[in-house]
DNA sequence: CTTGACTCTGTACTTAGGTACAGGGTTTAT
DNA sequence: ATAAACCCTGTACCTAAGTACAGAGTCAAG
């Protein structure tokens, strides 16, 4: 046979993750373990690799592994629930955006204050944090 | 004596954190333990409480406890270094903002696609994650 | 003088998402 | 037939920022 069997390290390469991460996903039940043949190594299907890629992309959208597990369980046939999950996630992301924006604004102001602080007496940032 | 001694649980209340968190900060060296008197409980100074409040506020600005430790060590007299830290933090926050904004946009589009999906055939979100 | 509230010390546990072995077994290339 | 490369199972460890006790001491009120 010259076709490489789809063993775990090939699967890992195709999915762009490490072998250990695949095993971790198996441990937490996010993906199935392929059947272990009587002799030899477990062989990974294209479907399983698609699932791994799905997981990566869903992670990029901010979903946790637990949420991804739900997404995968719901699958293609439960659009309303999926949409609900996405909407909830969007709300959380928007909240985080709001908080981070406030932080960025404050930091910018503090950094500005430092620039105007030609007197080398104390640091406006420290002062501000002390008594905000 | 009718003045309550500033014991740990009073300090915790004033700083708005839990007793266990104060002890945790002591464990990691972020704050000092007040001297233990020969008999009785440790007494917390106003300075220490100010330090705890500083920590809370710095956390709200996104600084980690490790970074806060540095801020406290640098203190008021090292404005340039403090400003440097704040600038670095701002850059990280801006990156995160950028990433989150992209996520929010994608999620919004996907949710929209679900709304337009009157056909109850499959879910646009799942499809999109599968082959993005 | 006892009871309840508080403190202290030390250690273990938590969450999320992995990473890192050790000690085996199997396969493939030379 | 042997060495390198790979796999498998199980377990321990990592980070960050805490939380949760257990077991012992101390203090204040009634």
Q: pLDDT tens digits, residue range B29-38?
A: 999 999 988 8
- Examine the domain organization and report whether A13 and A50 are in the same domain: yes
Tokens of B70: 């540095």
- Examine the domain organization and report whether B57 and B7 are in the same domain: yes
- Examine the domain organization and report whether A20 and A3 are in the same domain: yes
Q: pLDDT tens digits, residue range A17-44?
A: 999 999 999 999 999 999 988 889 999 9
The predicted pLDDT at position A3 comes to 63
A7/B3: higher pLDDT: A7
The predicted pLDDT at position B2 comes to 42
Which H, E and C letters describe chain A, residue by residue? Answer: CCCCCCCHHHHHHHHCCCHHHHHHHHHCCCCCCCCCCCCCCCCCCHHHHHHHHHHHHHHHCCCCHHHHHHHHHHHHHCHHHHHHHHHHHHHHHHHHHHHHHHHHHHHHHHHHHHHHCCCCCCCHHHHHHHHC
- Examine the domain organization and report whether A82 and A132 are in the same domain: yes
For the segment B95-119, the average pLDDT, to the nearest whole number, is 94
- Examine the domain organization and report whether B3 and B59 are in the same domain: yes
Q: How many CA atoms lie within 13 A of B89 on its CB side?
A: 28
- Examine the domain organization and report whether A21 and A40 are in the same domain: yes
Q: Which domain CATH number covers B57? A: 1.10.1660.10
With tokens 């007793």, the residue in question is B19
Contact A85, A70 (CB under 8 A): yes
* Residue ranges making up the domain that contains A87: 78-132
- Examine the domain organization and report whether B58 and B85 are in the same domain: no
For the segment B91-117, the average pLDDT, to the nearest whole number, is 96
Burial (CB count <10 Å: 0-12, 13-18, 19+), residue B123: buried
Domain termination residue (choose one: B76, B91, B120)? B76
The predicted pLDDT at position B3 comes to 64
- Examine the domain organization and report whether B3 and B52 are in the same domain: yes
Q: pLDDT tens digits, residue range B48-91?
A: 999 999 999 999 999 999 999 999 999 999 999 999 999 999 99
- Distance CA B18 to C1' D13 in A: 28
Task: Identify which of B90, B107, B120 has the shortest CB distance to residue A61.
Answer: B107
With tokens 């696609």, the residue in question is B113
The predicted pLDDT at position B5 comes to 86
- Examine the domain organization and report whether B71 and B90 are in the same domain: no
Task: Kindly list the protein residues whose beta carbon lies within 7 Å of any strand C atom.
Answer: A 1, 5, 17-18, 20-21, 23-24, 39-41, 59, 64-66; B 7-10, 19, 23, 27, 33, 36, 41-42
- Examine the domain organization and report whether A62 and A98 are in the same domain: no
- Examine the domain organization and report whether B64 and B103 are in the same domain: no
How distant is the Cα of B31 from the closest Cα of chain A, in angstroms? Answer: 15
Domain termination residue (choose one: B61, B76, B91)? B76
- Examine the domain organization and report whether A102 and A112 are in the same domain: yes
Torsion angle of the four alpha carbons A112, A115, A120, A121, in this order, in degrees rounded to the nearest 10? -10
**Statement: residue B1 has pLDDT above 70:** no
CB contact under 8 A, B89 and A107: yes
Q: In chain A, which stretches have pLDDT less than 50?
A: 1-2
- The total number of structural domains that make up chain A: 2
**Which bin fits A40, alpha (ψ -120 to 50), beta or left (φ > 0)?**
left
Report the C-alpha gap between B80 and B84 in whole angstroms: 6
């Amino acid at each position: 046979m010259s076709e490489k069997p789809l063993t775990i390290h090939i699967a890992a390469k195709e999915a762009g993750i490490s072998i250990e991460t695949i095993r971790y996903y198996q441990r937490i039940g996010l993906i199935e373990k392929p059947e272990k043949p009587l002799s030899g190594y477990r062989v990974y299907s294209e479907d399983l690799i698609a699932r791994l890629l799905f997981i990566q992309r869903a992670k990029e959208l901010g979903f946790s592994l637990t949420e991804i597990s739900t997404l995968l369980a719901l699958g293609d046939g439960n659009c309303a629930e999926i949409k609900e999950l996405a909407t909830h996630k969007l709300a959380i992301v928007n909240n985080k955006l709001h908080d981070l924006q406030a932080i960025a604004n404050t930091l910018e102001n503090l950094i500005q204050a430092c620039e105007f602080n030609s007197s080398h007496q104390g640091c406006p940032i420290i002062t501000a944090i002390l008594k905000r």
